[in-house]
Structure 1
Amino acid sequence: MNELAIRSIAGVAMIAIAILATVTGGYAFALLVAGVATAVYWEWMRMVRPWSFPWKIGGFFYALIPALALLWVRDRADNGLELVFWIFIVTWATDIGAYAAGRKIGGPKLATRISPNKTIAGLFGGMFAAGLGGALWAEYAGLGPHYFWLGAVMAFLAQGGDLFESWMKRRAGVKDSSNILPGHGGIFDRVDGLMVVAVAAAALSWVNLL
């Protein structure tokens, strides 16, 4: 089986698990979030092992805060289930849009020293896809009108999270955060943008802006 097929099957499986656990809620969602957070911290520690002690402490909170944000949104926020799916859709659309635009359009690089493959076209492609996907879900789920434009903003934040992890990997001298996901690398590689979006969405919801 070629790498693309393995990557596709693994991607579909991860999405299916995320959707099932989110819809089920309760312990199923909590266990999924806790498991992802634990994996992210483990991968973080693998990369920063020779670094200074504050990086090790910082990684604990970097993994914990998005996990708590997702749990709070799912169980405490208004329209929590719909908002979690909005977070997922915006993040997934960002990745897809950035990849497609980067491949089809190319052009100037976004951050050559951090991630040589990322382009400015990919940044805007991700923002467009996230804005569109977030708006369509907001319309379907009956969410507020602000969701029709916030998707693009969240995509910008998601790609910031992606670049931060890319910087960490470059400094650590590794290609992926780990190799536990066939064709995808590590858990951190897959949720680096989602973690940032989850915190931002939870914070806005907390202050009644979402």
Structure 2
Amino acid sequence: MSLPARWSDLNARMISAVVMVVAGALLLWAGGVIFAATLWVIGGALVWELSRMLGGRAWAPGMGVIAGLALAAAWALPVWLALPGLVFVAGFGAWQLPERRVLFGIYAAGILLACYTATLLRVDAGLTWILWVICVVVSVDAAGYFAGRAMGGPKLWPAISPKKTWSGTLAGWLAGAVMGLAFGLYLNVGAQLMVLSVLIAITGQAGDIWESWIKRSVGVKDSSNLIPGHGGVMDRFDAMLGAMLLVGALWLFRMLPGIL
């Protein structure tokens, strides 16, 4: 790949990234129902994109609305009711599809549970904790993008994600560790958060690869074209979904240092 071609999408990516960063910062600062409602919309958009990709184009708008409403209802319920309720909604959506039902059910459940975790993390744990997860995922993505484009080298998994390299992957892990150490020192929990941040980096990258596999299996380049330079909502939040699922599991089993 020539040097100009390597960076051909940089302008669109940067403009979209700046807009999303500013909007995201304002929403994170606002917190409460404003932040929660944003995640209900994002969750609905993600399920809409998933439905379209997996053969449920006619049912996709309805499923997106149901997913958003389910997240809104879950916010008002105790955790022990919200979690099975969200899984049930994912199963209901899978039942509507003519094919790929298992794949839809698993991924849709992951979307809903990840969005629910993000809501609780901001509202119950506080701004710093959700900033930790976001900063780790963003730093991993940025380090992987720039290191991979600049250094190139062997591909991580060319059959599924041909642009990802081992250099970018390792740079992402390092960026996640550094970010985790910084937050660990700020939150007074030491290096524990650095180790967890590397795990978050790995699960985030796994979420990215899983979405790439889905797109290749159905023959699409992007989940949609809602975000210039980034494709669809899922193309931007796939890594965050994987990261939030891990954080939710760690939090549920009281394995996050510093919060209960």
Q: Please give the TM-score of this superposition, normalised by the length of structure 2.
A: 0.74
**Paired position in structure 2 for 1:21:** 27
Within a 5 Å distance, the mapping from 1:117-128 to structure 2 comes to: 117-128=163-174
The equivalent position to 1:52 in structure 2, one of 79, 89, 100, is 100
In structure 2, what is the Cα distance between the partners aligned to 1:209 and 1:53? 32
In structure 2, what is the Cα distance between the partners aligned to 1:36 and 1:149? 29
Asked which structure has the greater CA Rg, the reply is 2
- Greater mean deviation of Cα atoms: 58-67 or 176-185: 58-67
**Unaligned 5+ residue runs, structure 1?**
none
Letter in 2 for 1:127: W
1:104 deviates by 2.2
- Contact 2:139–2:176 (CA under 8 A) maintained in structure 1: yes
- Contact 1:43–1:177 (CA under 8 A) maintained in structure 2: yes
- Contact 1:38–1:63 (CA under 8 A) maintained in structure 2: no
Equivalenced residue count is 206
- Structure 2 vs 1, CA of residues 28 and 116 (structure 1 numbering), >3 Å: closer, same or farther? same
1:143 deviates by 4.5
Letter in 1 for 2:161: S
CA deviations on 1:34-68 (whole Å, 9 max, x unpaired) are: 11111111111111017333334334312211011
Q: Sequence identity of aligned pairs in percent?
A: 34
1:15 deviates by 1.4
CA deviations on 1:108-151 (whole Å, 9 max, x unpaired) are: 111111011111111111100111122223333x2422112321
CA deviations on 1:79-132 (whole Å, 9 max, x unpaired) are: x32110001000001101111221222221111110111111111111001111
- Contact 2:110–2:245 (CA under 8 A) maintained in structure 1: no
Establish whether residue 38 from structure 1 lines up as the match of residue 83 from structure 2. Answer: no
In structure 1, what is the Cα distance between the partners aligned to 2:196 and 2:101? 36
Q: Please give the TM-score of this superposition, normalised by the length of structure 1.
A: 0.91
The equivalent position to 1:172 in structure 2, one of 203, 218, 240, is 218
- Structure 2 vs 1, CA of residues 101 and 13 (structure 1 numbering), >3 Å: closer, same or farther? same
Within a 5 Å distance, the mapping from 1:106-185 to structure 2 comes to: 106-140=152-186, 142-145=187-190, 146-185=192-231
Letter in 2 for 1:209: M
Aligned partner of residue 227 in structure 2, secondary structure: coil
In structure 2, what is the Cα distance between the partners aligned to 1:59 and 1:20? 28
